[in-house]
Amino acid sequence: MDEEAPVEFVDVAGAPIAVRQQSGRAPGVVWLGGYRSDMAGTKAERLAGWARQHGNACLRHDYSGHGLSGGAFADGTISRWLGESLAVFDRFCDGPQILVGSSMGAWIALRMAQELSRDGRRGRIAGMVLIAPAPDFTVDLIEPSLTPAQKRDLETKGHFEEPSQYGPEPNVYTRALIEDGRRNRVLNGLIETHCPVIVLQGMKDPDVPYAHAQKLVEHLPADDVTLTLIPDGDHRLSREEDIALMLRAVQELVARAR
């Protein structure tokens, strides 16, 4: 098995974006991480390992303010991270690709499909695996539950913080992120990905309720969509059995794209 691809940096709108590109055959797989996640996470690493083993191309990157990339996390918005993902995709990907999006990365994947289709390049996406998908999370999951104190912080400080169960640093949500999220909504109409979509969702996810995944499926009526609900699954879906599900889904879509 080849060694892991080295990190290289690409300037996107003034921020150095860290990228790992593994060469291989098409369809390639593209990892899109979640909010405050990076390309060194368990699922991303296992996906890259699967691609090396099977000879498929694999592309990973860190959004600005994440992982090895430059830029301030507080400057990040869905539009900015989408633009970075499209720039990296355009520079490094040849032929059809399978997008594998985790949590916020699923939102980025759906928006990428929309933007590529708008540019007349809908054939570039051969399939999607969406893991604990959180499209429109700022609109549907954060805004409705804001406390008076959080609303006040957004107004006066431009952000609010809340404890994170995944690390010592608090989650930070900025007014810019929330306002930009409204401009990137996908659950306000039909979503046409023009490719098969496999959704994996834990039913014990404390961050994204499984009803949110069901809502997403309702907005994908024109596409070939499979929803797998994992009764004891959490948000990360990083257990061995969860990763096995992810890799089987990727393998299915890769086989169908050939």
- What is the average pLDDT value for the chain, to the nearest integer? 95
What 3 state SS string does the chain have? CCCCCCEEEEEECCEEEEEEEECCEEEEEEEECCCCCCCCCHHHHHHHHHHHHHCEEEEEECCCCCCCCCCCHHHCCHHHHHHHHHHHHHHHCCCCEEEEEECHHHHHHHHHHHHHHHCCCHHHEEEEEEECCCCCHHHHHHHHHCCHHHHHHHHHCCEEEECCCCCCCCEEEEHHHHHHHHHCCCCCCCCCCCCCEEEEEECCCCCCCHHHHHHHHHCCCCCCEEEEEECCCCCCCCCHHHHHHHHHHHHHHHHHHC
Residue pLDDT, tens place only, 222-256 = 779 999 999 999 999 999 999 999 999 999 999 99
Integer Cα distance of 202 and 133 in angstroms: 10
Mean pLDDT value across residues 35-57: 97
- Please count the other Cβ atoms lying within 10 Å of the Cβ belonging to residue 223: 18
Does the pTM surpass 0.75? The reply is yes
Integer Cα distance of 221 and 223 in angstroms: 6
Residue 248, amino acid: R
Residue pLDDT, tens place only, 60-101 = 999 999 999 999 999 999 999 999 999 999 999 999 999 999
Integer Cα distance of 6 and 38 in angstroms: 15
pLDDT at 3: 75
Three-class DSSP category at 53: helix
Q: Residue with structure tokens 């699954």?
A: 233
Which domains are assigned to the chain?
A: 7-136+188-257 (3.40.50.1820)
Tokens matching residue 78: 């869905």
How do strand 56-61 and strand 15-22 relate by DSSP bridges? antiparallel
